[in-house]
A and B are shown apart, each in its own frame.
Chain A
């Protein structure tokens, strides 16, 4: 745009001979406008200026502006450099009423000087079929009955959530084209969906209204669902179109040979007229759904619906996923309704449902299905029931609530090998203790502190103890040996003396034998024998008896023969004392025997 301006400016300046240094501030606008027409007023400043002050446009409505634009050019002619800048300030105005007005001047400061622009006169004319240009667009309305727009709602009163189909129909008797919506209403208080069947062309039909035959075309179909109670107003829809109006009064406007020529060829002459048409505002009465008999499962569904459910399997193993689908289908606020939430048994892992909505538009409004797909994993085995789920809706046609129930499912979950791996504790079976964490053992609370000391082993104390023990052992042994030796010496002495004493006693006995003192003889003789054996065997006299003597002598490896002889001698000694017979001869015999036995024993008993 700027570029084009630059080129234009370049061309303009190229042909202009006037000095570019002059400051030029002018107003540019149309000379004539139609009531309601938008037009542009521009103030153009050639040169540098600042502080643009806009005038007061009385009698006109400012649609937009000011918009400022700037263009500059540099030209070199015969070595002289000329620089020019153009500032443009534009306003878009709309003429309100007819008459002749003056576009007021704007002021701008150039070189600290305030300069005013020129003023322009403008004529505002009434609606006229006469438009500028052969195919130009203008704004005119001639006979509102030729083209009009009608908004027709399917109902004027509705419940919250009940859908209303709003049709915009255009009625026309003259050909129209280039239909376009210039302003759509906001539909505040409604949820809306444009359900216009847009296949490029308008479906036309004919209708006779008020004695006139009209062509009718539906240009827009909208489904409205009221969201709040009260009287809601639907604002008008503005559309614009080009109407072809037959030129019946062209003679009055002067003869146009071209128009006449083409008009003659086409049979008649038409003028393209731009028409702005509006629908009427509509009031809709919105009622809340009745509170009476409202079921608890009602979640705002209004219309006519069916409710079904399906399950992919009822026999499975634990940790095996299955799918339950709940479907609501029907005619109503399908996109807005809330699906009921089924209740699954505890220990079932339920994922967020996948919700899919499928709608289509028909003559009643919106219909379709809404599906909630639940993926569920039973974590434990057993018999379970997924209870029926209730879904309620309000039927505005019958003016009552309807409650529907889904199927009830009995599930048989078999035990699988990896059951219980998800960490859910099931009361029915025994489970191993789960290690939830490991930690080091706790500190010991009893310090049993000890002063650090050297170990006993290898210390002098250790060896001293051992040496002491050995010393005690050796001392004990030595002492024992000493005692033992002494005792043994005693025995030895007695042993050595035994023969001597025995001989002495025998000698005494022999002396008594000679004087024939038998009682003394026997006494000495038995003393000699018993004393000998007592000393020899180291047995005290009191312990002596025939048996012990025999035993001890056998223990000392004395031959049995000698033992028997000795015992016999001892016996005969006791016996012979009191035995009858020649005492002298007996004594002599006994004495000789005693000497013999002791001599024999002496050899053996050492």
Chain B
């Protein structure tokens, strides 16, 4: 019985490893084509890896680079943003995204962010959603241990120490749960989008007869606030809000 289980485990691991190596080989092949300046081929291979259900920030980043080299800046920005979603603090991705954003038509001055919010966001970006989830579990475990110690403490000093430790740990745990939750919802919401149409007029209402508010060009990042039929209510970095046909943007 034990032997059979061991063999099964071994087989699963072997298949997993094999699949990993095939895709890694594909990845290296695509890198080779990229270095040979055959960007279109590279994109096709990278995309094949994505289609097989494998994903990573470097993969999306490399796709973005290939599109950038082909001067398809909207697609490059889309893939950089996707990569940045997975690794929010990666400097390479940030830099290339900034370069790509400098090459598109629209230049939008973002609304300045409140510094505490920025600090909060930066701490949140330190870890991925799963890391935060695991961290929250670890902290919950720690809180329970400390709570147990508090409850079972015989002496007054020990009880006192455990009490304050527990309070601190509970606060940290709550934060980690909030981070995990925020990250989780951010990863799953897909409410950011990139404008893919060369030029599009933002309307005041979700109808084509609505008043023209402003014009956006390809590559601009928008945040989707609401949906109505085939229209999206969007907000751009400077805070302007309007409606766009949902076919004009690609969510990520």
B92 within 8 A of A: yes
Tell me whether A473 and B148 are in contact (CB under 8 A).
yes
Tell me whether B137 and A465 are in contact (CB under 8 A).
yes
Which residues of chain B come closer than 8 Å to A443, judged between CB atoms? Answer: 31, 34, 58, 61-62, 65-66
Q: How far is the CB of B237 from chain A (nearest CB, A)?
A: 21
Q: How far is the CB of A119 from chain B (nearest CB, A)?
A: 90
A344 within 8 A of B: no
For B58, B99, B183, the residue with the greatest tally of chain A CB atoms inside 10 Å of its CB is B58
Tell me whether B53 and A469 are in contact (CB under 8 A).
no
Which residues of chain B come closer than 8 Å to A343, judged between CB atoms? Answer: none
- With contacts A448-B58, A455-B187 taken as known, whether A440 is within 8 angstroms of B132 at the C-beta atoms is no
Report Cα–Cα, A462/B181, bound state, in Å: 12
Mask: chain B, 184-222; 1 = CB below 8 Å from A; 0 = not? 100110000000000000000000000000000000000
The segment from B106-114, B139-147, B224-232 that touches chain A is B139-147
Which residues of chain A come closer than 8 Å to B61, judged between CB atoms? Answer: 443-444
Report Cα–Cα, A109/B20, bound state, in Å: 103
B59 within 8 A of A: yes
Q: How far is the CB of B135 from chain A (nearest CB, A)?
A: 10
Interface footprint category on B = 35 or more
Which residues of chain B come closer than 8 Å to A134, judged between CB atoms? Answer: none
Which residues of chain B come closer than 8 Å to A441, judged between CB atoms? Answer: 65, 92, 95-96
B234 within 8 A of A: no
Tell me whether A473 and B144 are in contact (CB under 8 A).
yes
Tell me whether A457 and B34 are in contact (CB under 8 A).
no
B151's nearest neighbour on chain A, judged by CB, is A477
Report Cα–Cα, A507/B181, bound state, in Å: 73
Tell me whether B129 and A440 are in contact (CB under 8 A).
no
Report Cα–Cα, A62/B57, bound state, in Å: 98
Report Cα–Cα, A484/B187, bound state, in Å: 48
Which residues of chain A come closer than 8 Å to B56, judged between CB atoms? Answer: 447-450
Tell me whether B133 and A449 are in contact (CB under 8 A).
no
B136 within 8 A of A: yes
Mask: chain A, 427-449; 1 = CB below 8 Å from B; 0 = not? 00000000000101111111111
A354 within 8 A of B: no
B14 within 8 A of A: no
Tell me whether B54 and A469 are in contact (CB under 8 A).
no
B171 within 8 A of A: no
Report Cα–Cα, A477/B55, bound state, in Å: 44
For B68, B132, B133, the residue with the greatest tally of chain A CB atoms inside 10 Å of its CB is B133
Tell me whether B58 and A456 are in contact (CB under 8 A).
no
Say which residue of B54, B57, B99, B181 sits within 8 Å of A457 (CB atoms): B181
B20's nearest neighbour on chain A, judged by CB, is A449
Report Cα–Cα, A447/B54, bound state, in Å: 10
A257 within 8 A of B: no
Report Cα–Cα, A397/B153, bound state, in Å: 127
Q: How far is the CB of A132 from chain B (nearest CB, A)?
A: 90
- With contacts A440-B65, A449-B54, A449-B59 taken as known, whether A456 is within 8 angstroms of B133 at the C-beta atoms is yes
Tell me whether A457 and B180 are in contact (CB under 8 A).
yes
Report Cα–Cα, A246/B61, bound state, in Å: 112
Size of A's binding interface in residues, CB under 8 A: 29
- With contacts A443-B31, A469-B144 taken as known, whether A462 is within 8 angstroms of B133 at the C-beta atoms is yes
Q: How far is the CB of B73 from chain A (nearest CB, A)?
A: 11
Q: How far is the CB of B180 from chain A (nearest CB, A)?
A: 4
B132's nearest neighbour on chain A, judged by CB, is A457
Tell me whether B137 and A447 are in contact (CB under 8 A).
no
For A443, A449, A473, the residue with the greatest tally of chain B CB atoms inside 10 Å of its CB is A443
Which residues of chain A come closer than 8 Å to B96, judged between CB atoms? Answer: 440-441
B248 within 8 A of A: no
Tell me whether B144 and A447 are in contact (CB under 8 A).
no
Which residues of chain B come closer than 8 Å to A476, judged between CB atoms? Answer: 148
Tell me whether A450 and B133 are in contact (CB under 8 A).
no
A486 within 8 A of B: no
Which residues of chain A come closer than 8 Å to B155, judged between CB atoms? Answer: none
Interface residues of A in 230-277 (CB under 8 A from B): none
Tell me whether B130 and A456 are in contact (CB under 8 A).
yes
Say which residue of B24, B28, B54 sits within 8 Å of A452 (CB atoms): B54
- With contacts A452-B54, A455-B188 taken as known, whether A447 is within 8 angstroms of B95 at the C-beta atoms is no
Report Cα–Cα, A466/B132, bound state, in Å: 14
Which residues of chain B come closer than 8 Å to A450, judged between CB atoms? Answer: 54-56
Say which residue of B20, B65, B147 sits within 8 Å of A473 (CB atoms): B147
Mask: chain A, 362-377; 1 = CB below 8 Å from B; 0 = not? 0000000000000000
Which residues of chain B come closer than 8 Å to A456, judged between CB atoms? Answer: 129-130, 133-134
Which residues of chain B come closer than 8 Å to A452, judged between CB atoms? Answer: 53-55
Report Cα–Cα, A449/B188, bound state, in Å: 20
Report Cα–Cα, A104/B151, bound state, in Å: 152
Which residues of chain B come closer than 8 Å to A447, judged between CB atoms? Answer: 23-24, 27-28, 49, 56, 58-59
Please give me the 7 A-B residue pairs with the lowest Cβ-Cβ distance, nearest first: A444-B58, A457-B133, A456-B133, A447-B27, A457-B184, A473-B144, A443-B62
A480's nearest neighbour on chain B, judged by CB, is B152
Tell me whether B55 and A445 are in contact (CB under 8 A).
no
- With contacts A447-B56, A449-B59 taken as known, whether A455 is within 8 angstroms of B129 at the C-beta atoms is yes
Mask: chain B, 239-250; 1 = CB below 8 Å from A; 0 = not? 000000000000
A581 within 8 A of B: no
For B132, B147, B184, B187, the residue with the greatest tally of chain A CB atoms inside 10 Å of its CB is B184
Tell me whether A466 and B140 are in contact (CB under 8 A).
yes
Say which residue of B24, B132, B151, B181 sits within 8 Å of A449 (CB atoms): B24
Q: How far is the CB of B147 from chain A (nearest CB, A)?
A: 7
Q: How far is the CB of A246 from chain B (nearest CB, A)?
A: 98
Report Cα–Cα, A577/B234, bound state, in Å: 100
B75 within 8 A of A: no
Tell me whether A449 and B23 are in contact (CB under 8 A).
yes
Tell me whether A457 and B55 are in contact (CB under 8 A).
no
Tell me whether B144 and A445 are in contact (CB under 8 A).
no
Say which residue of A457, A462, A470, A484 sits within 8 Å of B144 (CB atoms): A470
Interface residues of B in 111-137 (CB under 8 A from A): 129-130, 132-134, 136-137
Report Cα–Cα, A447/B132, bound state, in Å: 22
Report Cα–Cα, A442/B183, bound state, in Å: 28
For A446, A449, A462, A484, the residue with the greatest tally of chain B CB atoms inside 10 Å of its CB is A449
- With contacts A443-B34, A443-B62, A447-B59 taken as known, whether A469 is within 8 angstroms of B132 at the C-beta atoms is no
